[in-house]
Copies of this chain bind each other. A is one copy, B any other.
């Protein structure tokens, strides 16, 4: 018996006109019926921000033939919330994919990334969700080498589903020498901030946030290791942030109240 085609929500954080979301839409059209809800402007680094102090716009637009598309004035997470509530109206899509991001979202970047936060929100809504990112932040990034892996991973998620409360963070190395797929854990790495301090024409200081990615994790089971060794990294992510292993220690503390 032939199954009906799945419905697939496509989101991103680079904005609805980004080449990365176009590449993702093209792959998803091979797998199901696509609905795109994406920010009307770049939203990189927005993390899990939601818009509560101002109203949101959601407007249907036509960019690519045969694709139902909406642009949203809010954050990537707002896009998912509006899609679920106002477009799907409670009949949830079978899959939520975010990206393909221009730039890596491995390791600690999962927490800063609008791309990943949109996928996390999909998972909170109990939709099987995947974030995809490529190690090339330029507008002209070449997504052609990613496409067969995007299709393979999304197909497996459509077939098997994902454990409740989990989603996937998929990152692609740049270039065409991809060796395969590795299931990984998030590397214990961080950004060492550097602020570029400047003086404006009115003689006041201002700062540009920049930084250097520092990996202090020598494990060979991490996403950083996989990418450095030309593998596609796949990290299962959860939104239960409880540090369960710390509960016992805290229970031994004597609070002097």
Q: Which residues of A contact B (CB under 8 A)?
A: 42, 44-53, 55-58, 75, 77-78, 81-82, 84-86, 108, 110-112, 117, 120, 124-125, 148-149, 152-153, 155-156, 160, 162-163, 165-166, 168, 180-181, 183, 185-186, 188, 190, 193-195, 197-198, 204-209, 234-247, 249-251, 253-257
User: Do A82 and B195 touch across chains, with their CB atoms under 8 A apart?
Assistant: yes
Identify which of A47, A77, A205 gathers the most chain B CB atoms within 10 Å of its CB. Answer: A47
User: Do A247 and B236 touch across chains, with their CB atoms under 8 A apart?
Assistant: yes
User: Do B198 and A55 touch across chains, with their CB atoms under 8 A apart?
Assistant: yes
Cα distance A75–B188 when bound, in Å?
Answer: 24
7 A-B pairs with CB atoms under 8 Å apart are A44-B53, A49-B75, A86-B207, A156-B255, A180-B257, A238-B242, A241-B241
Instruction: Give the Cβ gap from A100 to chain B, nearest Cβ, in Å.
Output: 16
User: Do B163 and A208 touch across chains, with their CB atoms under 8 A apart?
Assistant: no
Residues of B within 8 A of A152 (CB): 255-257
Q: Which of B58, B124, B162, B206 contacts A57 (CB 8 A)?
A: B206
User: Do A207 and B238 touch across chains, with their CB atoms under 8 A apart?
Assistant: no
Q: A124's closest neighbor in chain B, by CB?
A: B190
Identify which of A58, A190, A234, A246 gathers the most chain B CB atoms within 10 Å of its CB. Answer: A246
- Other contacts beyond A47-B49, A82-B195, A236-B246: 8, CB < 8 A: A44-B52, A45-B50, A48-B48, A48-B117, A57-B204, A77-B112, A149-B255, A241-B241
